[in-house]
Amino acid sequence: MKTDKLGSFLVNTARLEKGDYDKLEVSKEGVIPGIEMPFSWVPEGSKVYVSVQLELVGSKVLVSGSAKAGWIGTCRRCLENTAGLIQAELKDFYSYSPAIEDEYPMANSTLDLSLVARDALLVELPLAPLCNQACLGLCQNCGKNLNSGSCSCSYEPNNPFKVLDVLKNENRLDF
Ligand SMILES: [Zn+2]
Ligand SMILES: [Zn+2]
């Protein structure tokens, strides 16, 4: 067992492949661009944290552990900025000749953990964020943010984001 704490997401697997040790514990942190969905994203320059164990399985390297990051986005009801944390479990193979779609490429005894971390965190980003499960949204008549008090309209709320609430109950659109 060896601990690797280099700055980037690249991991040298030469000694693991040689059999110098059975497992390699790796903790990495850094910026991974492109973790973004239309209504939520990991902010530019914000760090992603990856903590994994690497082990050799045949000629492939199995990476298991977790990745986490903070996200920001827009509340689907009140349209205010909102934020949260996502964490993803990782269990993926890196291979010199990726045979199936969900294997990641490696070369010259080096693999890039940002590849698995990006894919896993993307799936965890909320598609329709809420600032709060109880968010009251905006009045459709006067536009007032009803979280900061009711308005004097007697207008029947007709939230255009209601369709997302329906979807949310049918699928897993957010937390
Ligand atoms: Zn809200
Ligand atoms: Zn109103």
- Number of structural domains the chain divides into: 1
143 CA from centroid of ligand 2 (Å): 6
pLDDT for 155 equals 53
- Rg of the chain, C-alpha, whole Å: 21
137 CA from centroid of ligand 1 (Å): 6
- Ion ligand 1: residue ranges with CB closer than 5 A: 75, 77-78, 131, 135
The DSSP output letter for 138 is B
What ligand has the least distance to the C-alpha of 139?
A: 2
pLDDT for 129 equals 96
Q: How far is CA 40 from CA 2, 43, 157, 168, in A?
A: 36, 9, 25, 16
Gap between the Cα atoms of 74 and 41, Å rounded = 10
* 86 contact partners, CB below 8 Å, separation of at least 6: 68, 69, 70, 71, 121, 124, 125
pLDDT for 156 equals 55
Q: Is residue 132 part of a domain?
A: no
What ligand has the least distance to the C-alpha of 155?
A: 2
Gap between the Cα atoms of 78 and 6, Å rounded = 42
169 CA from centroid of ligand 2 (Å): 27
Q: Is residue 168 part of a domain?
A: no
64 CA from centroid of ligand 2 (Å): 51
Q: Is residue 153 part of a domain?
A: no
pLDDT for 100 equals 75
Q: Is residue 155 part of a domain?
A: no
Q: Is residue 86 part of a domain?
A: yes
Per-residue pLDDT of the chain (175 residues; tens, 9 = 90+): 444 444 489 999 999 999 998 999 999 999 999 999 999 999 999 999 999 999 999 999 999 999 999 999 999 999 999 999 999 999 999 999 888 778 999 999 999 999 999 999 999 999 999 999 999 999 999 999 999 999 998 655 555 565 555 555 554 444 4
Q: Is residue 134 part of a domain?
A: no
Burial 129-164 (b: 16+ CB within 10 A, else e): bbbeeebbbbbeeeebbbbeeeeeeeeeeeeebeeb
Q: Is residue 169 part of a domain?
A: no
Q: How far is CA 154 from CA 40, 79, 104, in A?
A: 33, 22, 56
Give the structural domain span for 83: 2-124
What ligand has the least distance to the C-alpha of 148?
A: 1
pLDDT for 2 equals 47
Q: Is residue 144 part of a domain?
A: no
106 CA from centroid of ligand 2 (Å): 57
SS3 (DSSP) at 144: coil
pLDDT for 77 equals 96
3-state secondary structure labels for all residues of 152-168: CCCCCCCCCCHHHHHHH
